[in-house]
Structure 1
Amino acid sequence: MPTSAESGRKGGQLAMHTPPIVSPQEWEAARNELLVKEKALTRAGDALAAERRRMPWMAVEKAYAFEGPQGKVSLIDLFEGRRQLIVYRAFFEPGVFGWPDHACRGCSMVADQVAHVAHLNARDTTLVFVSRAPQADIARLKARMGWEMPWFTLTDSFDADFGVDEWHGTNVFYRDGDRVFRTYFINNRGDEQMGSTWNYLDITPLGRQEVWEDSPEGYPQTPTYKWWNWHDSYVADAPPDEKWVEVSDAGEAAFQNQDPSTKP
């Protein structure tokens, strides 16, 4: 087997300079050394999300219209009664590479990574995709690709007004009654991390809404883990399942007894 010191060509290809082969003890030591940096990165991400929750908001004054499966809807309608809205601008329309059989390859990769939206909904958050393709084409594409997120048709200047007319991007909005505010925006490589329930919640103004988070006073927060559920079992305003509370409490207790160097 080639070592990390060996180089040259084999079979017409460059040989890989692989890491050294070590004992289990040396591997564990190397892993723990890297874990220190990984934990620092996690804490930095938490701090950044806390700062994001304190960003100023921008009022959305213009009325925007979209086409959905049931007809014309407003921006407020996209919230589906929830307080938070995440809007991903996907490119699926005439002129986009792949049309009419496929959406943009990059946007399609983003769509393939989206977790079940029920978990976001349980945190008072709605995720939608928007494109300029007609609803019939969007329905056909979703059925072909197995995508289930709500997907609406752009009908006005929404994409140009929110920085997503020429390139993909994710906008975040908050609804206070009939007033809507833009709270965050991410695009380019920032969109690469999207798809996970956690990453989506981390870019919202309310965050994950768990007690460990550093959030402004008065923000909604519930005990960590306790709100989790199977995606087909969430019930609006239902208290946490007693059995799951018992299980998660036991898990937390066991975790607290671990070696601190192994905790994330």
Structure 2
Amino acid sequence: MVDLATWQAARAELLVREKAHTREGDALAAARRRLPMVELDGTVEVVGPDGPVPFLDLFQGRDELVVYKHMWHDGAPHQGQCEGCTTTAWHLKDAGYLNARGVSFAILTTGRWDEVASYVEFMGYTQPWYSVRDVDAPVGGGMGYLTCFLRDGDRAFLTYSTTGRGNEPASGSFGLLDMTPYGRRETWGDNPEGWPEGRGWCWYWRSDADGNATWGPTSRPVPQWTRPGATPVETLGRQGHH
């Protein structure tokens, strides 16, 4: 424990490091804008609520497009779908500010459209979703990625892609947790002596009907408990991963 003046001095010292971190982030963003681009076939079809449409339609007339590639467990009920991808998709329910800046947003997944449509309705998602089942990279391919595209007329280009912790900027909760005294409370975190013991990676992404954090068969991704009709479950029902 210290007095306020001592705390303010320590805070000012940390702020120097935070500003340097911000400037390095700006430099990395500038480097991303200078990456070479890969042209792709913008006429390749993806499947949405109106059936097959060309990939170029996802730009919605804008020049830039960000997509999140959502993993899918074929045949699984809603509670069995990917908890990590749910974290990202839930944080990106509204792309209003992206749209205002001239950037469109969509979620792509390898699930069959009939399964995807049911899931999207259950989750209450309003952002555009499309199935890219059997579509090759870079439109399809590996899931769990944030990917950026550029359009020039009827031409489309891949400009950037990231996964893992590279997806964290899309989920504002991570940044807020990193400001809190206890942080994410995961075992990898560097915490002061005497702090609460951490748990495994992303332990709080799923919970049971009573709010207990668990990835067991009685769990759902946590936002699902806010959805109408979300009842207790006894299995994740995962049969496979596509």
Where on the TM-score scale, by shorter chain, does this alignment land: which range?
A: 0.5 to 0.7
User: SS where residue 107 of structure 2 aligns?
Assistant: strand
Check whether the contact 2:72–2:82 (CA below 8 A) recurs between aligned residues: yes
Q: Give CA deviations for 1:82-105 in whole Å, capped at 9, x if unaligned.
A: 10111211012416xxx2214211
- Indicate the percent of aligned positions where both proteins have the same amino acid: 37
Conservation of the 8 A alpha-carbon contact between 2:72 and 2:109: yes
Cα contact 2:93–2:125 (8 A) shared by 1: no
For the pair 1:133 / 2:111, whether they are aligned, the reply is yes
Contact 2:46–2:53 (CA under 8 A) maintained in structure 1: yes
Change (3 A) 1:79 1:105: same
Do structure 1's residue 101 and structure 2's residue 78 form an aligned pair? yes
Asked if 1 retains the 8 angstrom alpha-carbon contact of 2:43 and 2:56, the reply is no
Secondary structure at the aligned position of 1:67 is classed as strand
**Which residue of 86, 108, 111 maps to 2:89?**
111
Q: How does 1:2-151 map to 2 (within 5 A)?
A: 21-61=1-41, 63-94=43-74, 99-102=76-79, 103-114=81-92, 116-151=94-129
Aligned partner of 1:78: which letter? L
Q: Contact 1:170/1:186 (CA < 8 Å) preserved in 2? A: yes
- The unaligned stretches of length 5 or more in structure 1 are 1-20, 200-264
Q: Retained in 2: the 8 A contact 1:65–1:155?
A: no
Is 1:185 matched up with 2:161?
Answer: yes
Within a 5 Å distance, the mapping from 1:241-252 to structure 2 comes to: none
> Could you say if the C-alpha distance between residues 81 and 172 of structure 1 is closer, same or farther in structure 2, counting changes exceeding 3 Å?
same
Root-mean-square deviation (CA), in Å? 2.2
- Which of 1 and 2 has greater Rg? 1
Name the stretch that deviates more: 165-174 or 65-74. Answer: 165-174
> Per the alignment, do residues 104 and 131 of structure 1 end up closer, same or farther by CA in structure 2, a change over 3 Å counting?
same
Contact 2:67 2:108 in 1 (8 A): yes
Supply the distance in 2 between the matched residues of 1:80 and 1:155 (Cα, whole angstroms).
21
- Residue of structure 2 in register with 1:162 after alignment: 138
Residues 93-145 of structure 1: CA deviation (Å, up to 9, x unaligned): 416xxx22142111011112115211111111111111122333323222322
